[in-house]
Chains A and B, each alone.
Chain A
Amino acid sequence: MFELLGITPQVLMGQLLLGLINGSFYAVLSLGLAVIFGLLNIINFTHGAQYMLGAFVAWMLGAYLGVGYWWALLAAPIVVGASGLVLERLALSKLYHLDHLYGLLLTFGVALILQGIFRDAYGISGQPYQIPDLLAGGHNLGFMFLPNYRAWVVVASVIVCFATWFAIEKTRLGAYLRAATENPTLVGAFGINVPRMIMLTYAFGVGLAGFAGVLAAPIYSVNPNMGADLIIVVFAVVVIGGMGSILGAIVTGYGLGLVEGLTRVFYPEASSVVIFVIMAIVLMLKPEGLFGRSA
């Protein structure tokens, strides 16, 4: 079996690798959503806009201040995270006593505002952002030409995902966090400032979206709509993985990237819906998601 339906193993390998690269974005974005959902019980519809914001901040830092990619990779997530902090304080925190659906509606509105502002200011054609010199060029792997930058995307996302998982599942801070998810009052009674923890968690989740945005800036065009359609796919990823499951979000993110990559080889017409089809199947067979505990 060297050829499967006329696809050589080389091509297959190449496509799987590309799938993994795309999966990196899904993983980082769905991880951010899962972290936020886990503690705030809010589906952050602004996530796509915050991903866009990350890319735009990186571009603005370069265009107006001459700040390069590497500093932008550090600074942009912080800027985006800080904006998340403000949003949480001014708006989201007012909604915790209400139905969670209001959080969804609020963040949807914020996403519209952000996209509208950037569309008005920069148009829709997109801004160019160069790949940093250090990562220019690429390597021939035999089965495909792999640009260095794409390899970096996978490495960076794996590091970030692992670090986040470790921090939440294995550290004391993570333990407080998880405890606060279960019983905020009790954790508060132990002298831990729960509202501040919630605020910082939201900022962190949002910062992850900003990070993904900077990663994306050099390969996709930086435009106001870059997050709008992506976010819906990421929602599906989170539903498949099981909401609130950190590991689930990461594994499903990479996994669905691979599945999508395979679809592009065997049946490209379906590549935009395959994730939604999988979601429908998962919902029928295991409604709480692949890694979710039943609610």
Chain B
Amino acid sequence: MAETATDPVPSAASPASSGMPMLHKAIFAILLAALLVLPFLVYPVFAMKAMCFALFAAAFNLLLGFGGLLSFGHAAYFGGASYIAAHAAKVWGFTPELAVLTGTAAAALLGLAIGALAIRRQGIYFAMVTLAFAQMVYFFALQAEFTGGEDGIQSVPRGDLFGIVPMGSNLALYFFVLAVTFGGILCLYRIVHSPFGQVLKAIRENEPRAISLGYRVNRYKLAVFTLSATFAGLAGATKSQVFQLASLTDVHWSMSGEVVLMTLLGGMGTIFGPLVGATVIVALQNYLASFGAWVTIIQGVIFVLGVLLFREGIVGVLARWTGRRL
């Protein structure tokens, strides 16, 4: 049935061992090292944007790639958290880390509420239900007082981290964002490789069998949905601190489409795919910004080619060549 979003990587060989395989350790270490010097090589704001979207895509991948559930409304959690965090920092005067936590908590609650309804349906129905709820969130953001309608929440102050470390400079903020997003991605990695993650895979591969084995499938689904929404929220909340604004772009359905695109392009169900996909798409948008409508066309073409020829995604292909799980 529609439940089996195919895992491009042979997942039978995934051991549920608690330790991280050497290869993954090495990749994470190299990644961290690269990220530490990155702001001295490229424009830090661009790098921060890419990291936020990498976390967003990774959170989405938890649901799609490992839970087998395609949500078409993840903008609701990303954007919702971004609004709450911006409001917390600007109006309530929260410090950055508290603002981010508040936004994340809001996304978790929202995910719990919507998830509880959405998991009643499966496959395509599930996708459409999440999309419809996301539209409700969008209209709320458009009309509510505190969200500022079209203008969004602007001039969010870059406060002092923990009330002491000023975040005014791009560089200071960069390391805060690095800590948050890298930490978030490691958490997601832990979740995927925990016993919980194994049950998720079992449900994805064969739901009736998982039920017959005595798993309360709906609870697992709701849990993974909420977790995914939470981390999407973490990404959105962090992004609002970087750009000092929360806007309708973040809750619009095209944002939900973008995160699907990032995950698909990088390779769904892989560990590093969403990070690669997010970086590519963010770079594309950045460098093609002056071409206007062509950005949309190119994204559409990537979608189509991705689905037709390239379903494993960039990292999926690499994994097949190297014969390793990535």
Contact = CB atoms under 8 A, between A and B. Distances in A.
Contacts of B260: 105, 108
Given A99-B4, A101-B123, A273-B139, A112 B297 contact: yes
Interface string B122-151: 111101110111011001100100000000
Interface in A1-43: 41, 43
A276 B127 contact: no
Given A272-B139, A283-B121, A113 B301 contact: yes
A269 interface: yes
A77 B163 CA distance: 63
A283 B70 CA distance: 18
A112 B300 contact: yes
A109 B300 contact: yes
Measured as residues with beta carbon below 8 angstroms from the partner, the interface class of chain A is 35 or more
A277 interface: yes
Contact of A243 (B125, B307, B311): B125
B120 A283 contact: yes
Interface in A89-138: 91, 94-95, 98-102, 104-106, 108-117, 119-120
Main secondary structure of the interface of B (DSSP, over half): helix
A287 B296 contact: no
B303 A115 contact: no
B253 interface: yes
Interface stretch (A172-180, A204-212, A215-223, A232-240): A232-240
Interface residues of B, number: 44
A120 B293 contact: yes
Contacts of A287: 120-121
Contact of A101 (B2, B132, B293): B2
Contacts of B300: 109-114, 116
Interface string B141-175: 00100000000000000000000000000000000
Nearest to B142: A272
A117 B297 contact: yes
B79 to A, nearest CB: 16
Interface in A253-295: 269, 272-273, 276-277, 279-280, 283-284, 287, 295
7 contacts: A105-B260, A105-B307, A109-B307, A110-B304, A236-B128, A280-B136, A287-B121
Given A95-B308, A106-B303, A116-B296, 11 more contacts: A43-B124, A43-B127, A98-B6, A100-B2, A105-B260, A109-B304, A110-B300, A112-B299, A113-B301, A236-B128, A280-B117
